[in-house]
């Protein structure tokens, strides 16, 4: 297993951060969060990356040294563990820095105190996380190709749900079968989030499951299988004529895509051979859900059309919430009451909660190469509907969708295939 990134790309990332360090009048930055270290080194390892404002970086590691090869921007310095690394740092060039950037949003307080007391007792420690997160928000051509591959895997998993979902099966069993399909076709089986205590997982939410009180900052309820791990799907049994909202991620080479579709078991409907069109002599799903889902689809189209280089994330957020209010869905748009989330989309990449967020306060124009998950959803007490796609921002054209599946309500009939198909 080798890094998908070339030495030149990694050096370019380091140089971009060094330009920001000079602008901020910092002597250097110490990178210790796993994903940020991967971004600048191309390797997942325990240790740290020290990047000076000028000159060559240093990598300190105590495991996985065999992963550093010719693509790595600098030879690693082997240390014996965290305590030894702090002593080496103090005696090495970074120990002389007076203004140091640290990842304040993710660095444990105990580690921060150790750095402050043992390495830089007389230096000024400042937050470099915003600069790193802004840099990482714009992906390279290599990253975008990986994102497209991830989206292809995820789309196949969602299409497999057309054969998996049936009456009498539990949410959790649907979720489990989908996970197996994803793993078999390349999903890395793990996703990362940056936010503290953010235990994210995909969810298959049938009916009232979509509206349970949430421990996760997302628009769909995540009941889980017990009260101490409230994430993912529950043991609730799927029955006809209630919405099933499915929100899931997949990852390839470290990069995540995010997607949502809404399904419904309709025993009187027959899915035709194309797998996307439905013959439906009767439809017993509550019209509220049909109207809400159609609104989400239409809004989704609008957002993708407007999501292009130069668009302002906070303006896209305000537009979406204003449209929902005008259409009469304001109370239930992006969930209800204390569970309502205040965004309409978010950055994705090596983490599920990257910048920018389509929310208030994000006022910098979007740049080409930014990757977003756009997710209009409506949640009622008895069920939820909505859609979500991962998209790539381009200049002068609508965003490119990398999670491909029809946006219409996905109806599945009573008769099921014996084996789920990955399309």
Residue 406 CB coordination number (10 Å): 14
CATH 3.40.350.10, applies to 7-135: yes
Domain ranges of the chain: 7-135, 138-412
Percent of the residues in the chain that have a pLDDT greater than 70, as a whole number:
93
Find all residues with CB under 8 Å of 389, minimum gap 6, and list them: 259, 300, 304, 373, 374, 401, 402, 403
pLDDT at 214: 87
Q: What does 234-268 look like in DSSP terms, one character per residue?
A: -SPBP-TTSEEEEEEEEEETTEEEEEEEEEEE-TT
Rounded distance between C-alpha atoms, residue 65 and residue 56, angstroms: 19
Residue-wise pLDDT tens digits, 248-263: 999 999 999 999 999 9
Q: Which tokens hold the place of 69?
A: 């090869």
The predicted pLDDT at position 279 comes to 40
Per CATH, 7-135 and 138-412 having the same topology is answered: no
pLDDT at residue 283 in the model: 57
Find out whether 176 and 279 touch, Cβ atoms under 8 Å.
no
pLDDT < 50 stretches in the chain? 269-282, 417-418
| Class of the domain covering 138-412 | alpha beta
Q: What is the pLDDT of residue 268?
A: 55
- Are 133 and 31 within 8 A, CB to CB? no
- Residues belonging to the chain: 423
What angle in degrees, to the nearest 10, is found between the helix axes of 34-41 and 7-23? Answer: 120
pLDDT value for 269: 47
∠ CA 404-379-358 to the nearest 5 degrees?
Answer: 60
């Amino acid at each position: 297993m080798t890094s998908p990134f070339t030495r030149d790309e990694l050096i370019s990332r380091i140089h971009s951060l060094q330009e920001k360090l000079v602008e901020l009048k910092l002597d250097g930055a110490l990178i210790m969060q796993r994903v940020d270290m991967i971004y600048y080194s191309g390797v997942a390892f325990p240790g740290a990356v020290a990047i000076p404002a000028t000159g060559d970086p240093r990598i300190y590691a105590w495991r996985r040294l065999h992963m550093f090869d010719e693509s790595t921007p600098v030879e690693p310095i082997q240390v014996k563990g965290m305590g030894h690394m702090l002593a080496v740092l103090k005696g090495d060039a970074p120990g002389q820095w007076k203004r140091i950037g640290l990842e304040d949003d993710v660095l444990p307080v105990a580690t921060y105190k150790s750095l402050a007391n043992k390495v830089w007792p007389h230096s000024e420690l400042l937050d470099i996380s915003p600069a790193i997160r802004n840099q990482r928000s714009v992906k390279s051509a290599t990253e975008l190709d990986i994102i497209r591959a991830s989206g292809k895997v995820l789309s196949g998993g969602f299409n497999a749900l057309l054969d998996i979902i049936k009456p009498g099966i539990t949410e959790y069993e649907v979720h489990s079968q989908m996970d197996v399909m994803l793993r078999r076709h390349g999903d890395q089986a793990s996703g990362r989030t940056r936010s503290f205590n953010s235990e994210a997982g995909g969810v298959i939410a049938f009916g009232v499951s979509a509206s349970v009180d949430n421990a996760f900052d997302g628009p769909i309820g995540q009941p889980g299988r017990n009260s101490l791990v409230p994430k993912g799907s529950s043991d609730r049994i799927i029955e006809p004529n209630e919405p099933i909202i499915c929100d899931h991620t997949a990852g390839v080479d470290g990069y995540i895509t995010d997607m949502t579709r809404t399904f419904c078991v309709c025993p009187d409907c027959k899915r035709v051979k194309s797998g996307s069109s439905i013959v439906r002599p009767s439809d017993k799903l509550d019209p509220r859900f049909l109207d809400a889902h159609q609104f989400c689809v239409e809004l989704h189209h609008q957002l993708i059309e407007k999501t292009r280089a130069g668009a302002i994330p906070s303006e896209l957020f305000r537009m979406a919430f204003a449209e929902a209010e005008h259409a009469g869905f304001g109370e239930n748009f992006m969930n209800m009451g204390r569970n309502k989330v205040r965004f309409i989309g978010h950055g994705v990449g090596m983490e599920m909660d990257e910048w920018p967020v389509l929310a208030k306060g994000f006022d910098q124009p979007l740049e080409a190469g930014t990757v977003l998950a756009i997710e209009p959803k409506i949640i009622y007490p008895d069920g939820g509907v909505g859609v979500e796609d991962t998209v790539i921002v381009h200049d002068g054209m609508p965003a490119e969708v990398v999670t491909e599946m029809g946006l219409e309500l996905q109806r599945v009939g009573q008769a099921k295939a014996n084996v789920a198909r990955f399309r």
